[in-house]
Amino acid sequence: MTADAPLQQRFGLTVTPQNVLGVRAVVLQEAQDLEKTLRTEREQVALPPLGRDLVSNDMSSAFNEATDQLLKRASEHVAALFKLGDELAATAREYGCTEADITTSFSENSPRTAASQVSPTFREIAGMGTTSARPAAQTISHLLTGGPS
């Protein structure tokens, strides 16, 4: 796939008139969840100076630069998910969905209304399986230390 391919193809999604709003709801929920996690991580992730020696200063600086790059890439992914949500809304319009259908399929009051239209396999892959609650997002400190944040 090239960067010019539609986002739906780049994300490997198959949408139909029956599932387009559900897929959009899942994608937008994921984008919102990731965006919230990134906001939290940005506030907590900077490594303070470790010591007064040159190695410690270089180490904390290098760690912070690497972390900034990872957070930037994650932010770009979140932006791509929101853009995908816009493309899915356009596809829904092409399928004949009304603006009211699109708005109510994912709104603040009922964020996963249309997710029930998505196949169980897709919901499971997206972490929305019916057999278990969605796993909590792990913080960077948890990932680095292997323990709770």
Q: How many CB atoms lie within 10 A of CB 18?
A: 11
Q: How many domains does the chain have?
A: 1
pLDDT above 70 for 56:
yes
Domain hosting 89: range is: 13-137
Who has greater pLDDT, 11 or 1? Answer: 11
50 inside domain? yes
In a domain, 1, yes or no: no
Residue 2 lies in a domain: no
Q: Indicate whether 18 belongs to any domain.
A: yes
Q: What pLDDT does residue 47 have?
A: 75
* 37 vs 121, more confident: 37
Q: Could you give the count of Cα atoms lying within 13 Å of 63 in the half-sphere of its Cβ? A: 15
Q: Phi first, then psi: what are they for 64, rounded to 5°? A: -65, -40
Residue with tokens 């890439």: 73
CA distance 89 to 20: 8
9-23, 109-123, 130-144 — most confident range: 9-23
- Could you read off the pLDDT of 75-112 as tens digits, one per residue? 999 999 999 999 999 999 999 999 999 998 887 555 44
The pTM for the full model equals 0.67
- CA 87 to each of CA 22, 33, 80, 81: distance values in angstroms, whole numbers, following the listed order: 13, 19, 10, 10
| pLDDT value of residue 149 | 45
Residue 3 lies in a domain: no
Judge whether 44 and 139 are in contact, CB under 8 Å.
yes
